[in-house]
Amino acid sequence: MGKGKGDSESLLKTMKRKGNLTSRRVEDAIRRIPRHKFVPEGLEEEAYSDSPLPIGYDQTVSQPSVVAKMTELLDPQKGQSILEIGTGSGWQAAILGTLVGEDGKVFTVERIEELSRMARENLASVDLDNVYVVNGDGSVGLKEHAPYDRILCTAASPRIQEDWLEQLKVGGRIVSPVGSGFVQSMVVVEKTGKGETETLRNERGYRFVKLKGEKGL
């Protein structure tokens, strides 16, 4: 499979057929961010298959249909401030940056320095200047830019972390795979008040790399 818009359109059709892509806003954002610019050299031909791809250091760029579903569950809006935990190659962060627009900001935390550098280069290639890559431990969040409207974790966490909830605005939302086993659950939590949350979704059947760090697995 070659690179290009045609392959992107085929991938979008696949995701819609699977029922993981229903939002036109998310569809347009994915179309705007070419996945082949966010995979390692030599894997560009596979960029528009609906599958995760290795990016080195035992990490992956997530399966596109899962990225689409998580983005829709997060429901990012124009002008919002978003924290992403686990930058990887930067593709998910770029999609979020497109959705929040010029008045919004995305802070994305990556613990592996080499991947942080890769993500910055990839993001520069798509002319996004509202996404900020931080090399650090996302398991404890990113306190210096809190509070956030949305928090997205792209690795399997043992739980919805208290640090994340403390850094989330009231009315804000967290989306994260949760679980320590081979298969995890996709959990969506809304902060309804100080110390109060509501679980909006808890759906089993996902596989992610494990969240590392002080409060990871």
**Distance in Å from the first CA to the final CA of the chain:** 36
Say which DSSP state 156 is in. Answer: B
Q: What is the amino acid identity at position 170? A: V
Q: Residue 89: left if φ>0, alpha if ψ -120 to 50, beta else—which one?
A: alpha
Respond yes or no: is residue 10 known to be catalytic. no
Give which of 94, 48, 98, 70 is closest to 155, Cα–Cα: 70
Q: Active-site residue among 8, 23, 49, 62?
A: 62
Interaxial angle between packed helices 5-18 and 24-32, expressed in degrees from 0 to 180 and rounded to the nearest 10 = 150
Handedness of CA 68, 26, 12, 32 (dihedral sign): negative
Which residues does the annotation mark as catalytic? 62
